[in-house]
Amino acid sequence: MENFKIEVDSDGVALVTFDVPGRSMNTLTASVIREIGEIVERIKSDAEIKGVVITSGKTTGFCAGADLGELGGNGGLGGGAGGEAGLKAAYDAGFALNKAFRALETCGKPVAAAINGLAMGGGLEIALACHYRVVADHPKIQLALPEAKVGLLPGAGGTQRLPRLMGVMAAAPYLLEGKSMKPAEALANKVVHEVVPADQVVEAAKTWVKTKGDPVAPWDKKDFKLPGGGPYTPTGGQVFIMGNAMLRKQTYGNYPAQLNILKAVYEGTQVPFDAAIRIETRYFLKTMMSPQAKGMIRTLFLSLQELGKGSGRPANVPPSEAKKVAVLGAGMMGAGIAYVQAMAGIETVLIDQSQEAAEKGKAYAENLLKKAVSRGKMTQDKADAVLALITPTTDYAHVKGSDLVIEAVFESREIKADVTQKAEAQLAEDAIFGSNTSTLPITGLAKASVRPKNFIGIHFFSPVDKMGLVEIIMGEETSDEALAKSIDYVLKIKKTPIVVNDSRGFYTSRCFGTFVQEGLEMLADGIAPAIIDNVGRATGMPRGPLEMNDDVALDLGYKVTQQTKKDLGDKFEDRPFAPIIEKMVVELQRFGRKNGKGFYDYPENGPKTLWKGLSELAPVTIAEADQALIQEIRIRLLYRQAVEAARCFEEGVITDPREADVGAILGWGFAPWTGGPISLIDAVGAKAFVEACDALAQKYGKRFAPPALLREMAEKGETFYGRFGAKAKAAA
């Protein structure tokens, strides 16, 4: 066998060690599934084997679940065949894992899982198919069914076994949200039977097999009752009634996976187990074939993994390591950058105009570290060591010896030029200067540099310690060496890099801006603010556009607009909402959440409420929304962002659909259910998308007009992933 090793001891206990060759983590590939079937046959036919213990030969974990790359490739389940034969092939492929695990569960001999590391998705499902589960007592071990996070449902018995162990209500967050359990939590939930020291996990499993081994699962016994009751009991019925309503509130119907999980549990818990797993497989296939699942798997799993390994890095530049980095500006952004650098073991110089401001920036890191220590996530010694890496100062002499500088000062060309010159005076010839600007073109900022080839944009997102994306911007003269070193740095601080070319607003700020601006256009159109934001959230965006305006800060947006106006001169086009923003910022000092008043009022105690004075600035003419208007607002908000992303491709601002989609979801929270704006266009189809945008442009203006690239793709029946994806580039 390629993936398993079987050793039978003198007591007749077969130790099955799962160890996929050439991989850092065990995953469930087609060959693994085939070999599980072979193992079951040997267990049943070999009289010498009295019982079985399954464990992992990897130090990295027990099993990370299904190989989504294999699952999503080669035409998907069934190999892409059509018609009834295709459906049957897809069902057989989808049921293969369930069939293998059920065969293990009913092999007639006791089977225990010795879980010596994380067990995710199908990795937990194979453990649940064992009759007994022992897990190592280690703080880093997690047990989870995270399929819902990538638009799927657990398809190897998870939707059926977990509720039968825990009860439907208790199992719901682990199935619907992909919530993970630590070993102690799993024990309390009756998902595992024992938690023991890591070096005793196999022995404890063997002891159970030899002394108490029971080869029959609880749900295969005549006296089995579902914990908490099934759908037609008073308690169980309430779970499904309330669960359905809560699911609608949280997902707005955008995520078929969650609804299909609930359906699989509802139907499956009413029938015998063999029928239940067939129901699960049908819902698994239905979910797998949805555009949401295809987009989410590709973007949130496959593309995210590829970009997280530095797939956009120039191959001709040797690896580098940033050991010392100076951060210019100790405000919220600079302080956050200093923190993540120190957490990655990088010596950090934090510079501001006053020592007090620099110290305040370091205090931000200190507060985060205190929280980590108080929650038991870090020792005090470790926290002290991290904090010691940050040197707050006003003296640019400390920049000397830095491999990289991150400039994070105000969005002012003059201030940025000043700090660039001061820092570069201390830098070695091969050091990199990175600007954290979110809107100002890098080529223009690089004019203040004496080494424009080493000048690059490194755009973080706030709050830096929580946001996983960094947008790297190439100026006209930026070299491959600068790009490679910047990507190496981003990977070291455990962020995901995307690479874009220079433009006003680059990719993320430019496209994100269209979402908040479209909300303002609707406000100027007379649509009630509550309708705008409620529908905005219902699209799958994290907040409505007016809320998002408040979060970003109205005065920041106003300043950026004024700078853009100054730069573009006569080419700048004022929008109908401009007077509303100007009055709110300049006259009324309503800056947003940061000063407690924007489109919303933010009382110290209590929830935010819409500002009552807004109706005087933007009179409401549409106070109610029927289904048609709701759908039109949804389309306006999503398509406005997507058509801007398409323009970025046409202009060469972004060239890789993976980076466009990952950047959109991680950077500004573009509706994850779509897989990103480019996946959304591909799913709708270029032809249908162009037709919809033409109709919107006719009604609302040229901001919706499709670029020539999209029209060409519509005529040729092309997709972005087909035309610009990795396979297309490799073939070119």
Catalytic site residues? 459
Q: 188, 330 in Cβ contact below 8 A? A: no
How many Cβ atoms are within 10 Å of 706's Cβ, its own excluded?
Answer: 24
Picking from 723, 731, 728, 721, the residue whose alpha carbon sits closest to that of residue 72 is: 721
Cα separation, 505 vs 98, in Å, equals: 49
- How many residues are given for the chain? 732
Beta strands across the sheet bearing 194-196:
4-8, 13-18, 51-56, 111-115, 132-136, 194-196
Q: Please, what is the end-to-end C-alpha distance for the chain in angstroms?
A: 39
Picking from 149, 163, 179, the residue whose alpha carbon sits closest to that of residue 264 is: 163
Could you tell me the two tokens for 442? 């890098």
Cα separation, 175 vs 155, in Å, equals: 11
Cα separation, 157 vs 130, in Å, equals: 12
How many Cβ atoms are within 10 Å of 84's Cβ, its own excluded?
Answer: 8
Q: 261, 175 in Cβ contact below 8 A? A: yes
| Sequence-ordered list of residues with C-beta below 8 angstroms from that of 415, at least 6 positions apart, any chain | 409
| Sequence-ordered list of residues with C-beta below 8 angstroms from that of 500, at least 6 positions apart, any chain | 471, 472, 473, 474, 506, 507, 648, 653, 654, 659, 663
Q: Give the CA angle between residues 148, 150, 154 to the nearest 5°.
A: 40
Cα separation, 664 vs 115, in Å, equals: 37
Could you tell me the two tokens for 418? 């000043």
Could you tell me the two tokens for 405? 């500088």
